[in-house]
Amino acid sequence: MTSPRPYRGRFAPSPTGRLHAGSLAAALASWLDARAMGGTWLLRIEDIDPPRDIPGAGESFIEDLARFGMVPDEPVIWQHDRLEAYAEALDRLAAAGEVYGCACSRTEILAEDARLGLPKGVYPGTCRTGTKGRPVRSMRFRVRPGIVTFTDRRLGAFSQDVEHEVGDFVLRRADGLWAYQLAVVVDDIASGITHIVRGADLVDNTPRQILLTEALGGAVPSYLHIPLVLNREGTKLSKQAGATPVDSTDPMPALEAVFSHLGFPRIGAASPQDFLAAALPLWAERIAR
Ligand code: GLU
């Protein structure tokens, strides 16, 4: 989708570990895309999950990215500063009848899925019409029926029947923490994000985020999901699973490696600044808006 609004992109890591090749690829792709389109590039640290977040990891991202030559155009956004905005968004959705309290535990949901023959983890809608006196644990978004489709700039048309493949999804968790889906959408709207460039592991989340964006009256951004960087076992690099961090003190090998992963030739530059200057026209030429 072409957006008439001025290009605003972002890199939005969760500080659950150090920057690894997969997150560096997402940072680089989002940075190059924003620069190639003459846009603004933001950095948002998604630190809303204290049990998983690692103290100091957000600061280390900012420092590491600077060593790779990528500095955000505006002050870094920290999600821990944004909790009121999430509460306000939930209130607005509640006032519009788009959310409801849910009393179900994960075990109960799985048992109900098995009983009804639903795919594992799909919310069966048990509390849609009330919790029948059971205490509310989480708040869920009421998913509208119908297929959600969007056109990814790399993957093309992507459709999901969110109602049947996911079900009504959680916005505020049973432990009181905000769900990633709500925080990411509220912040992308507040920052005026027009283009999202991120890893392909998040493509399944996009239809949910489109539904939420629409419910909150935001403009749906354009999406580009880049190929995942896999480890030798063929699984996605994960900060939590302790993927080897990239060495930001010797930035060139990692920059060249992730650029090659994105399908580009070796640049052979001496510094991150020279590398980025040389990578920019290649990205601009190859990646259509
Ligand atoms: N915080 C998410 C992650 O690190 C990415 C969010 C996004 O790009 O939408 O996986």
Q: How confident is the model at residue 278 (pLDDT cuts 50, 70, 90)?
A: very high
CA 74 – ligand 1 centroid, Å? 19
Atom of ligand 1 nearest to the CA of 205: 9
Q: What is the pLDDT of residue 238?
A: 74
Q: Which residues line ligand 1 (CB under 6 A)?
A: 12-14, 46, 184, 198, 202
Q: What is the pLDDT of residue 240?
A: 66
Q: What is the pTM of this model?
A: 0.94
CA 253 – ligand 1 centroid, Å? 24
CA 73 – ligand 1 centroid, Å? 19
Q: What is the pLDDT of residue 236?
A: 73
Q: Which of 180, 191, 205, 222 to mutate to test the pocket of ligand 1 (most atoms within 8 A of CB)?
A: 180
Residue 186 has pLDDT above 90, yes or no: yes
> What number is the average pLDDT over the span 200-208?
97
User: For 105-145, what is each residue's pLDDT tens digit?
Assistant: 999 999 999 999 999 999 999 999 999 999 999 999 999 99
Q: What is the pLDDT of residue 243?
A: 75
Determine which residue's CA is closest to atom 7 belonging to ligand 1. 12
> What number is the average pLDDT over the span 258-279?
96
Atom of ligand 1 nearest to the CA of 198: 8
Atom of ligand 1 nearest to the CA of 209: 9
3-state secondary structure string, the chain?
CCCCCCCEEEECCCCCCCCEHHHHHHHHHHHHHHHHCCCEEEEEECCCCCCCCCCCHHHHHHHHHHHCCCCCCCCCEEHHHCHHHHHHHHHHHHHCCCEEEECCCHHHHHHHHHHHCCCCCCCCCCCCCCCCCCCCCEEEECCCCCCEEEEECCCEEEEECHHHHCCCEEEECCCCCECHHHHHHHHHHHCCCCEEEEEHHHHHHHHHHHHHHHHCCCCCCEEEEECCCECCCCCECCCCCCCCECCCCCHHHHHHHHHHHCCCCCCCCCCHHHHHHHHHHHHHHHCCC
> What number is the average pLDDT over the span 267-283?
96
Q: How confident is the model at residue 229 (pLDDT cuts 50, 70, 90)?
A: confident
Percentage of residues of the chain with pLDDT beyond 90: 91
CA 13 – ligand 1 centroid, Å? 5
Q: Which of 20, 41, 43, 46 to mutate to test the pocket of ligand 1 (most atoms within 8 A of CB)?
A: 46
Q: What is the pLDDT of residue 242?
A: 67
Residue 76 has pLDDT above 60, yes or no: yes
Residue 1 has pLDDT above 60, yes or no: no
Q: Which of 202, 220, 238 to mutate to test the pocket of ligand 1 (most atoms within 8 A of CB)?
A: 202
Percentage of residues of the chain with pLDDT beyond 70: 96
CA 12 – ligand 1 centroid, Å? 5
Determine which residue's CA is closest to atom 6 belonging to ligand 1. 12
Question: Could you tell me which residues come within 8 angstroms of residue 118 by beta carbon, excluding any fewer than 6 positions away?
Answer: 112, 124
Q: How confident is the model at residue 214 (pLDDT cuts 50, 70, 90)?
A: very high
Residue 159 has pLDDT above 80, yes or no: yes
> What number is the average pLDDT over the span 194-217?
98
User: For 83-115, what is each residue's pLDDT tens digit?
Assistant: 999 999 999 999 999 999 999 999 999 999 999
Residue 3 has pLDDT above 60, yes or no: no
User: For 161-174, what is each residue's pLDDT tens digit?
Assistant: 999 999 999 999 99
Residue 199 has pLDDT above 80, yes or no: yes
CA 101 – ligand 1 centroid, Å? 26
Mean pLDDT of all residues belonging to the chain: 94
Residue 23 has pLDDT above 60, yes or no: yes
CA 233 – ligand 1 centroid, Å? 23
CA 130 – ligand 1 centroid, Å? 32
Q: What is the pLDDT of residue 287?
A: 75
